[in-house]
């Protein structure tokens, strides 16, 4: 009987050394599945006056998330998300409205976007000659 107890103790120590301690609780494997059905979309949009983002004075910044629903600090998040979905998240594809008339006063406005759109990294910068042209091209996306 004594040999059996020693044998069981030795077997238990060997198993603990090879497999790790047996605690009765299952060790969870890393979760390989995404935590959401939607690809992440979280953006920070800024506007400011200047010729380029590096030297412009940032005047406004908002957050925008479009999945699963429109949210963030953007005042018209639903409209902005709809416009971005319409162009597949391509900010260069935002087109100017044809019925807008703007002055030719040069007062440059720069817009920037940093973040993730449907799981892909986004970094965008564009300078417009003035605020009117910015509004005409970007619609609700940069209306804040």
Q: Is residue 99 part of a domain?
A: yes
Q: Is residue 72 part of a domain?
A: yes
Per-residue pLDDT of the chain (144 residues; tens, 9 = 90+): 444 444 444 434 333 433 444 444 444 444 444 555 667 789 999 999 999 988 888 899 999 999 888 999 999 999 999 999 999 999 988 887 777 889 999 999 999 999 999 889 999 999 999 999 998 888 889 888
CATH number at residue 110: 3.30.350.10
Q: Is residue 52 part of a domain?
A: yes
Q: Is residue 2 part of a domain?
A: no
Question: What is the structure's pLDDT at 38?
Answer: 63
- What Å distances lie between residue 128 and 12, 28, 100, 104, 131, CA to CA? 73, 52, 15, 11, 7
Structural domain containing residue 54: 42-138
Q: Is residue 9 part of a domain?
A: no
Q: Is residue 92 part of a domain?
A: yes
* DSSP string covering the chain: -HHHHHHHHHHHHHHHHHH----SSPPPPP--S-SSSS---EEEEEEEESSSTTTSEEEEEEEEE-SSS-BSS-TTHHHHHHHHHHTTT-GGG----TT---------EEEEEEEEETTEEEEEEEEESSHHHHHHHHTTTT--
Q: Is residue 4 part of a domain?
A: no
- pTM value > 0.75: no
Domain count across the chain: 1
Q: Is residue 97 part of a domain?
A: yes
* DSSP string covering 42-56: EEEEEEEESSSTTTS
């Amino acid at each position: 009987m004594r040999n059996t107890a020693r044998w069981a103790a030795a077997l238990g120590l060997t198993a603990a050394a090879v497999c790790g301690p047996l605690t009765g609780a299952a060790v969870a494997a890393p979760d390989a599945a995404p935590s959401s059905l939607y690809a992440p979309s979280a953006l920070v949009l800024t506007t400011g006056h200047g010729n380029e983002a590096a030297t412009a004075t940032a005047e406004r910044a908002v957050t925008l998330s479009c999945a699963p629903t429109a949210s963030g600090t953007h005042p018209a998040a639903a409209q902005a998300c709809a416009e971005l979905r319409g162009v597949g998240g391509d900010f260069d594809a935002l087109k100017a409205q044809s019925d807008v008339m703007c002055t030719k006063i040069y007062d440059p406005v720069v817009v920037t976007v940093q973040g993730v759109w449907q799981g892909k990294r986004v970094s965008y910068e564009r300078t417009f000659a003035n605020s009117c042209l910015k509004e005409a091209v970007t619609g609700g996306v940069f209306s804040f």
